[in-house]
C-alpha cells in the first residue's frame, strides 16, 4: 500500500501512472500532453485515490477543471474503477509549461487569472498548423506584408513594434497572423492571439464583474499580441480606449503588437483620433488582390495538397488555369471553387473537366439572388433530414445541435446579418452562442477534411440552387 504522505514508493503505482499517461497522450496528442499532463507528479496511488501534484494554485485550478474527467476515464480504461483523482499544490512539483525550448508553447493562462469555466480564458485561440509561412503563397500584392510579418516574427533586432495589415476579405491577412503566432510560439514567446470580438467580450465582462485590473494584468503577460478583425472593435468607445491603453502598454514594455483589419487605421469608424494616430504610427501595409500568376500558384499549391491525400481529387492544369482567370475573385473564393471541384472528383471518382469548371463558374456568376437566413435553415434542414423548427427549438441533442451550428456558421459566412440578429433567427439565442458555433465549425473544418467537404458542399448547394 502506498504511503499517504510524500511520493509513492511502490513501483507498481508509478508504472500504472505511466500507462495512464500514455493512454491520455494518444487521446489528446503531444502538444497538450506535454503542456499539462507530462509535468504532473504522482503524489499518492492507492485503491481509493490518485493524487497528482502541480507547482502553482492556478495550475491546480486549470488541470482540475479541464483534465480530471479525462484522467478518470483513462484510469477506468486501464482497469482502475474506483479511484478518485485529486490535484494538489506541492512544493516540489515542476512548473507546467516551462520546457519552451523543447516544444511549442501552450496557450497557458498566467497565474493572476481567476478561472470561471472551461473555455473562458483569453488563451484558448486555436492556431492552424497548416497556415504557416511555408504554406503562404506571396505575390506582388502581398510580398511586402509577407516579408514584414516574417521579420516581425523573427523579433531580435527588428524595429517593427506595431505591424498593421489591412485589405479586403479572403486575401490572406489571417493566414499571416496565424503564421506569425505559430513562428513566435516556436521561438518560445508567449503569444496572445485574439479576434477584436474576443477582446471586446472579455473587457466588457471584466467591466461587468468590476475586475478590469485582472483583465489588464492577464493581457500584459503576453510578449506578442496578435489581433484580427479590428474593425469590429469600433462599436464600443470604452473598448477602443482600453485597446489604446493596451497598445501603449505593450510599447512601453518594448513588446510587439500585430493587427489586421479590412481598412487602414484612418478609415476605421468609431475610433478617436488618438487611437487612429497611434495605430498609424506603426508599419501599415495593404494586402491587395493577387495577380493571375499568384492566383495560379495558390491553386497549384492547394491542388498538390489535395492530390497527396486523395489521388482521385487530382485537378488538371487547364482547370487550374481557368479558375485563375477569375480576376474579381479573392484567394478564398478561388480556393472554394477548387475545393468543390476536387471534392466532386474525389466522391464520384471522375476526373474534373473544363465543362465541370464552366458549370461551376456559371452558377457562381449567374447567381444574383441574395441568400437569407431562412434559405439556409430550409436547405440545411433538408440536408440533415430535420424539421426546420428544430433550429429554433431548445433541443441540445447532437443530431440537432451540430446541424444548427452549421446553419449558424453558414448564416455568418453567406449573409451580412449581425451575430445578434442570427441568434434571434435561431430561437432567440445569444450572440455569444452564435460566435461559439461559428468557431466550433471552423475548428472542425480544419481538423476533419470530410466534415469540411460536407460544409463546403452545403454552401455550394445554397449558392447554386437559390
Task: Give the pLDDT mean for 134-139.
Answer: 92
Q: What is the CATH number of the domain that holds 82?
A: 3.30.300.180
Cell 447554386 -> residue: 464
Give the per-residue pLDDT at 466.
Answer: 45
CA distances from 265 to 31, 188, 234, 259, 298 (A): 36, 30, 11, 10, 29
**Same domain as 147, residue 267:** yes
Domain residues for 414? 373-465
Q: Is residue 249 part of a domain?
A: yes
Q: Within this chain, do residues 219 and 84 fall inside the same structural domain, yes or no?
A: no
**Do residues 181 and 271 share a domain?**
yes
Q: Note whether 257 and 338 are same-domain residues.
A: no
Residue 315 and residue 300: Cα distance in Å, rounded? 9
Is the pLDDT assigned to residue 92 strictly greater than 90?
no
Higher pLDDT, 35 or 364: 35
Q: Are 295 and 262 in contact (CB under 8 A)?
A: no
Q: Is the pLDDT of residue 370 over 80?
A: no
Pair (66, 197) in one structural domain: no
Residues 168 and 186 occupy one common structural domain: yes
Q: Give the residue from 366, 386, 421 where a domain finishes.
A: 366
Closest C-alpha to 65, from 21, 108, 116, 103: 116
Question: If 0-12 CB within 10 Å is exposed, 13-18 middle and 19+ buried, where does residue 392 land?
Answer: middle
C-alpha cell belonging to residue 307? 492530390
Q: Give the chain's domain count.
A: 4
Instruction: Indicate the pLDDT class of residue 69, thresholds 50, 70 and 90.
Output: confident
Residue of 369, 386, 388 lying closest to 378 (CA atoms): 388
Same domain as 430, residue 461: yes
Q: In what order do the strands lie in the sheet with 84-89?
A: 41-45, 49-54, 84-89
pLDDT of residue 45: 86
Q: pLDDT per residue over 180-229, tens digit each?
A: 999 998 888 889 999 888 888 888 888 888 888 888 888 888 889 999 98
Beta strand 49-54 with 41-45 is antiparallel
Render pLDDT for 218-277 as a digit per residue (tens, 0 to 9): 888 888 999 998 887 866 677 888 889 999 989 888 899 999 998 899 988 778 888 889
* Better pLDDT: 234 or 450: 450
Cβ-based neighbours of 316, under 8 Å, separated by 6 or more = 351, 352
Domain boundary among 258, 286, 314: 286
| 152 pLDDT more than 60 | yes
Task: Say which range, 336-345, 365-374, 377-386, 411-420, has the weakest mean pLDDT.
Answer: 365-374
Rounded Cα distance, 88 and 7, in Å: 13
Q: What digits encode the pLDDT tens for the residues 277-333?
A: 999 999 999 999 899 899 999 999 988 888 777 777 778 888 888 888 877 678 888
Cell of 234: 469600433
Euclidean distance between CA atoms 129 and 98, whole angstroms: 22
User: Which of the residue ranges 68-72, 124-128, 203-207 would you say has the lowest mean pLDDT?
Assistant: 124-128
Lowest mean pLDDT among 88-97, 257-266, 346-355: 88-97
* E strands in 122-255: 162-166, 191-195, 224-228
Amino acid at each position: 500500500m502506498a504511503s499517504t504522505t510524500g511520493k509513492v514508493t511502490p513501483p507498481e503505482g508509478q508504472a500504472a501512472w505511466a500507462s495512464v499517461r500514455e493512454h491520455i497522450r494518444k487521446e489528446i496528442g503531444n502538444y497538450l500532453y506535454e503542456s499539462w499532463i507530462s509535468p504532473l507528479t504522482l503524489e499518492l496511488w492507492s485503491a481509493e485515490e490518485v493524487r497528482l501534484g502541480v507547482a502553482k494554485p492556478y495550475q491546480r485550478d486549470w488541470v482540475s477543471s479541464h483534465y480530471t474527467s479525462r484522467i478518470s476515464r483513462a484510469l477506468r480504461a486501464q482497469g482502475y474503477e474506483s479511484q478518485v483523482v485529486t490535484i494538489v499544490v506541492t512544493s516540489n512539483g515542476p512548473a507546467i509549461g516551462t520546457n519552451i525550448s523543447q516544444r511549442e508553447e501552450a496557450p497557458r493562462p498566467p497565474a493572476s487569472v481567476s478561472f470561471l469555466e472551461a473555455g473562458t480564458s483569453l488563451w484558448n485561440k486555436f492556431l492552424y498548423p497548416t497556415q504557416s509561412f511555408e504554406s503562404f503563397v506571396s505575390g506582388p500584392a502581398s510580398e511586402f506584408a509577407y516579408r514584414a510579418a516574417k521579420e516581425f516574427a523573427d523579433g531580435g533586432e527588428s524595429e517593427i513594434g506595431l505591424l498593421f495589415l489591412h485589405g479586403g476579405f479572403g486575401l490572406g491577412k489571417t493566414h499571416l497572423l496565424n503564421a506569425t503566432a505559430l513562428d513566435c510560439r516556436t521561438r518560445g514567446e508567449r503569444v496572445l492571439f485574439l479576434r477584436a470580438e474576443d477582446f471586446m467580450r472579455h473587457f466588457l465582462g471584466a467591466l461587468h464583474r468590476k475586475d478590469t485590473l485582472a483583465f489588464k494584468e492577464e493581457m500584459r503577460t503576453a510578449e506578442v499580441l496578435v489581433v484580427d478583425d479590428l474593425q469590429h472593435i469600433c462599436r464600443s468607445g470604452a473598448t477602443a480606449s482600453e485597446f489604446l491603453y493596451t497598445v501603449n502598454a505593450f510599447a512601453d514594455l518594448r513588446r510587439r503588437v500585430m493587427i489586421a483589419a479590412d481598412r487602414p487605421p484612418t478609415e476605421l469608424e468609431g475610433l478617436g483620433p488618438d487611437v487612429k494616430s497611434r495605430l498609424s504610427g506603426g508599419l501599415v501595409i495593404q494586402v491587395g488582390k493577387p495577380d493571375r500568376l499568384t492566383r495560379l500558384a495558390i491553386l497549384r499549391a492547394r491542388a498538390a495538397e489535395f492530390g497527396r491525400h486523395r489521388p482521385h481529387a487530382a485537378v488538371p492544369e487547364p482547370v487550374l488555369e481557368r479558375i485563375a482567370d477569375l480576376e474579381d475573385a479573392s484567394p478564398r473564393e478561388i480556393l472554394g471553387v477548387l475545393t468543390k471541384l476536387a471534392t466532386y472528383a474525389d466522391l464520384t471518382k471522375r476526373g474534373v473537366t473544363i465543362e465541370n469548371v464552366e458549370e461551376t463558374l456559371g452558377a457562381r456568376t449567374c447567381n444574383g439572388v441574395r441568400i437569407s437566413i431562412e434559405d439556409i435553415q430550409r436547405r440545411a434542414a433538408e440536408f440533415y433530414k430535420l424539421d426546420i423548427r428544430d433550429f429554433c427549438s431548445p433541443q441540445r441533442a447532437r443530431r440537432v445541435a451540430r446541424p444548427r451550428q452549421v446553419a449558424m456558421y453558414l448564416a455568418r459566412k453567406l449573409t451580412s446579418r449581425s451575430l445578434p440578429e442570427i441568434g434571434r433567427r435561431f430561437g432567440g439565442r445569444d450572440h455569444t452562442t452564435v460566435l461559439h458555433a461559428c468557431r466550433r465549425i471552423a475548428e472542425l473544418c480544419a481538423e476533419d477534411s470530410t466534415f469540411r467537404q460536407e460544409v463546403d458542399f452545403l454552401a455550394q448547394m445554397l449558392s447554386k440552387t437559390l
